[in-house]
Structure 1
Amino acid sequence: MSQLSSLSFTSSIDSSLLVRDVAGSYRPAEPAEVLQAALRVLAGQLRGTEMLSSPQAVRDFLRIKLGTLEHEVFAVIHLDAQHRVIEYVEMFRGTVTQTSVYPREVVKEALAHNTAAIVLVHNHPSGVAEPSRADEHLTQTLKSALSLVDVRVIDHLIVAGPTILSFAERGLI
């Protein structure tokens, strides 16, 4: 009965999402809890799915994961031979304008996951998705290093708020 009264109390609150606390009562979800739940759903959709047949799921995941960060993050999406997602890994964290990326570490991570192909990802907190010369150089360096161990770079995505730029779509891969 206390759960019912708790539920009717919260129905007057202006929230469409509720969470249950340890006492069994319902309360409005905090924004961070909603984002974490959305990330879990999107990550579940990514894992084991055909990566290239659902680019929208990848873009949605990346917008939520990286689109609002105030610092740069460089991540990789590891793919198997059929381009299904093995794992999303945030490898390097930087400042507002840059992050250091070490090709050796990217190669080690790819080998550890038995990766056949990879999608490189980083964000631009400035909100401008245009790749810098350094972004283009890094992409070519990583592509060369990964090709030595038979890992193909499928794309490099830049997340800038709601905008996502694809190197492959721009002909930069």
Structure 2
Amino acid sequence: MSIKHWPEGERPREKLLQLGSTSLSDAELLAILLRTGIVGMSAVDLARHLINRFGSLSALMSTNLSELTAVKGMGIASFTQFAVVKEIGRRILHEDLSSAPLLNRPQIVADYLRLQLGGEQVEVCIALLLNQQHQLIQTIELARGTVNQNTVYIREIARLALLHHAPAIILAHNHPGQTQQPSSADIEFTSILKQALALLDIVLLDHFIVTRHHTTSLAALGLV
């Protein structure tokens, strides 16, 4: 049975209008975005299938073009829709982080970092450059893939902080293997970076390890 034949109160769009977006499941929200299903599947059925296949709504929004278009009914239009939704969410959070001190908004920082890094399939490191009030100035990608030359890496972080007049930074990188805990190399690098930046009167506020579903703060663990 197609959605148009469902009782009105059970149709995702009507349910949203009556009860608000928070009343909808992930599949129902996605169904509104998809608008139509495919032969044998309503939009909600297709949405459930996609979420089950990719593991979560977040993973689905972060999937690449070839993986998504391998699913029946999914094409370039769907991929661009998902990419746009994710980018809009990221930009909204970026605006929020630019308007108030980050240290007062730990959940928004965590959400922002998961949107930035949680879906990456290789290790990516970013720096959040902050002003004197610890509001976000800019997010800069520092490296993609494993970085072995730490001295050059630290020099680049310091250069960017000075270039953007950022007296404080937050470092973050993802663990594609979904390990939440910092490695010994993460801890050592954080210590070296903190000391190097301190010589320039730049404060390293935190270093986050990011997975698809979690963020781990080294500062919260007493490691910054």
Deviations 1:112-157 (A, max 9, x none): 1111111111110000011111111110111011001000111100
**RMSD of Structure 2 on Structure 1 (CA):** 2.3
* Whole-angstrom CA distance in 1 between matches of 2:159 and 2:220: 27
In structure 1, the residue matched to 2:141 is 90
Does the residue aligned with 1:15 lie in a helix, a strand or coil? helix
Does the residue aligned with 1:111 lie in a helix, a strand or coil? helix
Does the residue aligned with 1:69 lie in a helix, a strand or coil? coil
In structure 2, the residue matched to 1:41 is 92
* Whole-angstrom CA distance in 2 between matches of 1:73 and 1:99: 10
In structure 1, the residue matched to 2:215 is 164
Q: State how 1:4-83 maps to structure 2 within 5 Å.
A: 14-16=31-33, 30-83=81-134
Deviations 1:27-68 (A, max 9, x none): 977211211111111111112321111111111111111011
In structure 2, the residue matched to 1:4 is none
Does the residue aligned with 2:219 lie in a helix, a strand or coil? helix
The total of aligned residue pairs comes to: 152
* Whole-angstrom CA distance in 2 between matches of 1:17 and 1:119: 36
* Whole-angstrom CA distance in 2 between matches of 1:68 and 1:121: 14
The sequence identity of aligned pairs, in percent, is 37
Does the residue aligned with 1:118 lie in a helix, a strand or coil? strand
* Structure 1, unpaired ranges of 5+: 1-10, 19-26
* Whole-angstrom CA distance in 2 between matches of 1:88 and 1:17: 31
Does the residue aligned with 2:99 lie in a helix, a strand or coil? coil
Alpha-carbon deviation of 1:99? 3.3
Alpha-carbon deviation of 1:14? 3.6
Distance change >3 Å, CA 71–CA 53, structure 1 → 2:
same
Q: TM-score, normalised by structure 2?
A: 0.63
* Structure 2, unpaired ranges of 5+: 1-12, 14-29, 36-76
Match of 2:178 among 127, 135, 154: 127
Q: State how 1:110-125 maps to structure 2 within 5 Å.
A: 110-125=161-176
Bigger strand share: 1
Higher RCO, Cα 8 Å, sep 6+: 1
In structure 2, the residue matched to 1:99 is 147
Asked whether the 8 Å contact 1:74–1:99 carries over to 2, the reply is: no
* Whole-angstrom CA distance in 1 between matches of 2:81 and 2:177: 26
